[in-house]
Amino acid sequence: AWALYHLMSSPNVKIEAISCVKGNSNVTMVGRNVMRILAAMGKENEVPVFLGSNERLITPEPTVNPDDMFFGVDGFSDVDYSHLPPPNMALLKTGAVHEIARLILKYPSEISFISLGPLTNLALVLKAYPETRQLIKEVLIMGGNRHGVGNTESAAEFNFYQDPEGANIVLNNYPGPITILPWETANRENLVMNQTWRFETITSGPPNPVLEILNPAELKALEAGANWLPCDLLVAMAFTHPELVTERKQYPGSVELAGLLTGSACVESSQRRNRPHYHRRQHGPLCGAAIDRETGRGM
């Protein structure tokens, strides 16, 4: 939600469409949450919102205890928003995969795809419409990890864990520039904000309808004392202000699909450097390894 708020508020960004995918909630609830944020910004009619895949590429999915879901079943901590106007669900469209492909073909080498959740939709685009592979300007990904540090399983980051096959397809089938903001970067000490800063500094301005939605959701999610870590916002800010990324590293990598302990981890493979087909992307995905915290805070 923070990334959407940031991107929709950025004057130099034109969002052609928003595609929803099952992530921390089912795809319909994700769509509802998107519409709720857009409505709070007075922009629900400005950008089309499309529902995409409601399951990972390979099923069955892992069983999840609802009590273990960080942002609840609905993705907004199951907060009661009945005092707010309901989001206009009639504006939601279906067919996200086709729409993504249509836009890529309409605007060749102009579309930046910013992934804030699992990569299922983009993986389906690359497989169903292979002609799009050479026509995407760039892909930015919030997800994956560099050193096997997990936030879901022992070595898995949430977005890659939700659809490891989808992530693997994107990393191996899209030949253009990929920028990944991995879990270890987002979780670095200098990027973690305490709750006092989050709820006092950010809310110190004039009343904001978006904060009426996000404040109670995050207060509930962080009630156990966790720090504020807006991973999605970091990758959105890296897109709008690339100068915030102060350290970048490139690794040839893929996703571990069969490991008992390392499943869904993003794995560096030095052997791939010597494979003839590897040079389709000259140096592999670019990982944002460090971000300027103070400049980011000021924004």
- Asked whether the predicted pLDDT for residue 275 surpasses 70, the reply is no
pLDDT given at position 271: 47
Spatial neighbors of 129 by CB under 8 A, at least 6 apart, are: 101, 104, 105
- Asked whether the predicted pLDDT for residue 280 surpasses 50, the reply is no
In this prediction, residue 286 has a pLDDT band, given cuts at 50, 70 and 90, of low
Structure tokens at 37: 């944020």
- Asked whether the predicted pLDDT for residue 135 surpasses 70, the reply is yes
pLDDT given at position 35: 98
Half-sphere exposure of residue 113, counting CA atoms within 13 Å on the CB side? 35
pLDDT given at position 268: 56
> Using one digit for the tens of pLDDT, what is the confidence trace for 80-114?
999 999 999 999 999 999 999 999 999 999 999 99
Q: Taking residues 5-13, what's their average pLDDT?
A: 96
The total of other beta-carbon atoms located within 10 Å of residue 135's CB is 17
In this prediction, residue 279 has a pLDDT band, given cuts at 50, 70 and 90, of very low
Point out the least confidently predicted range of 47-51, 73-77, 142-146, 211-215. 142-146
In this prediction, residue 291 has a pLDDT band, given cuts at 50, 70 and 90, of low
Task: Determine whether 182 is exposed, middle or buried from the number of CB atoms within 10 Å of its CB (0-12, 13-18, 19+).
Answer: buried
Structure tokens at 45: 């009619």
pTM of the model as a whole: 0.87
pLDDT given at position 189: 52
> Using one digit for the tens of pLDDT, what is the confidence trace for 138-152?
999 998 877 666 677
Q: Following DSSP, what letter does each residue of the chain receive, concatenated?
A: -HHHHHHHT-TT-----EEE--SSS-HHHHHHHHHHHHHHTT-TTTS-EEE--SS-SSSSPPP--GGG-TTTTTSSTT---TTSPPP-GGG-EE-HHHHHHHHHHHSTTTPEEEESS-SHHHHHHHHH-GGGTTT--EEEEE---SSS--SSBTTB-HHHHH-HHHHHHHHHH--S-EEEE-HHHHTSGGG-B-HHIIIIIGGGSS--HHHHHHHHHHHHHTTTSPPB--HHHHHHHHHH-GGGEEEEEE--EEE-SS-TTTTT-EEE-GGGGGSGGGGGSSS-PEEEEEE-HHHHHH-
pLDDT given at position 196: 76
Sheet holding 286-291, edge to edge: 112-115, 138-142, 178-181, 286-291, 245-250
pLDDT given at position 74: 96
All domains in the chain, ordered by first residue? 2-298 (3.90.245.10)
> Using one digit for the tens of pLDDT, what is the confidence trace for 158-217?
999 999 999 999 999 999 999 998 888 877 755 667 777 788 777 777 889 999 999 999
> What Cα–Cα distance (Å) separates residue 216 from each residue in 78, 101, 180, 212?
10, 36, 29, 7
Residue found under tokens 């009630």: 223
In this prediction, residue 31 has a pLDDT band, given cuts at 50, 70 and 90, of very high
pLDDT given at position 197: 76
Spatial neighbors of 237 by CB under 8 A, at least 6 apart, are: 6, 244, 291, 296, 299
Structure tokens at 265: 């981890």
In this prediction, residue 282 has a pLDDT band, given cuts at 50, 70 and 90, of very low
pLDDT given at position 147: 67
CA pair distance 50, 293, nearest whole angstrom: 33
Of the chain, the percentage scoring pLDDT greater than 90 comes to: 57
